[in-house]
């Protein structure tokens, strides 16, 4: 199942936060035969288009990092879209990967697959043990279906499809739009803008808003208009107001670390490693003469390895196994930005889930550990953000 440097690897979602980092990681390792398509070039929800793409490109390996994503508000408003779009993407890519004899597939999910009240830190085995968080239930169910597809194809057809579940990610190409970004980039931009208002650096504020307008307000607006729209997001002269109490705990992983973990798994980890047996040959099949997997080879159907009992939860958590409070995160952001004003917490606003830490012992046992600690990562993210405004 080894991939050599000439193997053709299709990275679905190669413009995204994780997909772009995986693409760059593969290039650095000398894997240059990479294939990517933007959403405009290939709509992964279109079954006919996906089949045509696989017919033409015939990749040796696939990284499925494409998804239909959004924050709490989007997840609540577009519930049908979140489950349907993600299921279509996954079904189309995984089924065509199988039909075209792809050697290795890496599926990227999210730790939102775990129950709302899962015991902490969350092990892979807590999947499907109690109800999900309601606000992102549809997205989570789609991702659970994706990892189950990988697991089921492996058990029935002897494929080598691995699913990884990353924790909260941050890094280059992050989303800093205040209306729909995640907690760290939103907090960082708020603190930065509050500092600029205090400094009277309206030229820099204009550059920032021209790059990423807020509710349609860009750098050409009057100072009054700008101050009014920023105040709606808790951004004032030398003061920032954040939602909640600041006490929830969160785990964060640098996106380039996530990419490195993903590529490590893609290149070095097989399904047999995850289920803990050396020989999994009873469900490994050869390809037929036309390059597609022979569907008639069904020795693995429904229990080729009964001595192992029930096989489930074969996905891999990817994170740091470390956490900090939102208040502690704000202190790191303040330090990185060089902000000398005040940060307040509005306890009348919701906190969200109080704790979301994953157990990463399986990942460590497979030979990978994170490199970037949060203290360095926050500074690296702010450095990237400032450069993005040049």
* Start-end of H helices in the chain: 17-28, 47-57, 72-77, 79-99, 137-157, 183-199, 202-211, 223-231, 255-268, 271-275, 326-337, 361-365, 374-388
- Residues 117, 129: Cα–Cα separation, whole Å: 10
Q: Which residues contact 3 (CB under 8 A, 6 or more apart)?
A: 9, 31, 60, 61, 103, 104, 266, 267
Burial class (CB in 10 A: 0-12, 13-18, 19+), 60: middle
Phi/psi for 312 (5° steps) reads -155, 175
* Beta carbons within 8 Å of 232's beta carbon, 6+ residues apart: 215
Annotated catalytic residues are 139
Closest to 329 (Cα-Cα) out of 348, 347, 349, 343: 343
């Amino acid at each position: 199942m080894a991939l050599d440097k000439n193997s053709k690897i299709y990275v679905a979602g190669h413009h995204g936060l994780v997909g772009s980092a995986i693409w760059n990681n593969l290039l650095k390792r000398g894997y240059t035969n990479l294939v990517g398509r933007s959403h405009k070039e290939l709509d992964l929800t279109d079954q006919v288009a996906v089949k045509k793409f696989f017919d033409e490109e015939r990749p040796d390996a696939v990284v499925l990092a494409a998804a239909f994503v959004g924050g709490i508000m989007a997840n609540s408003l577009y519930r049908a879209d979140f489950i349907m779009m993600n299921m279509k993407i996954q079904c189309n890519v995984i089924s065509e990967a199988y039909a075209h004899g792809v050697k290795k597939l890496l599926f990227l999910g999210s730790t939102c697959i775990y129950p709302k009240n899962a015991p902490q830190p969350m092990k892979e085995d807590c999947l499907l043990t109690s109800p999900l968080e309601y606000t992102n239930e549809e997205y989570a169910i789609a991702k659970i279906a994706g990892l189950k597809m990988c697991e089921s194809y492996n058990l029935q057809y002897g494929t080598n499809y691995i699913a990884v579940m990353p924790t909260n990610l941050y890094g280059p190409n992050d989303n800093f739009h205040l209306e729909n970004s995640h907690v760290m980039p939103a907090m960082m931009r708020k603190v930065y803008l509050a500092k600029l208002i205090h400094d009277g650096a309206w030229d820099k504020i204009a550059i920032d808003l021209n790059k990423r307008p807020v509710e349609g307000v860009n750098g050409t607006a009057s100072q009054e208009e700008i101050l009014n729209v920023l105040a709606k997001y808790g951004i004032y002269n030398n003061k920032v107001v954040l939602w909640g109490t600041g006490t929830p705990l969160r785990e964060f992983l640098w996106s380039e670390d996530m990419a490195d973990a993903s590529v490590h798994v893609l290149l070095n980890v097989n399904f047999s490693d995850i289920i803990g047996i050396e020989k999994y040959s009873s469900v490994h099949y050869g390809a037929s003469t036309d390059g597609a997997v022979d569907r008639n080879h069904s020795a693995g159907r429904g229990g080729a390895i009964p001595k192992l009992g029930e096989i489930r939860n074969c996905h891999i958590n990817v994170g740091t196994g470390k956490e900090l409070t939102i208040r502690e995160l704000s202190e790191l952001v303040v330090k990185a930005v060089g902000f000398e004003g005040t940060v307040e917490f509005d306890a009348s606003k919701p906190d969200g889930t109080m704790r979301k830490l994953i157990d990463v012992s399986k990942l460590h046992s497979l030979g990978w550990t994170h490199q970037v600690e949060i203290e360095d990562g926050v500074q690296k993210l702010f450095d990237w953000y400032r450069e993005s405004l040049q």
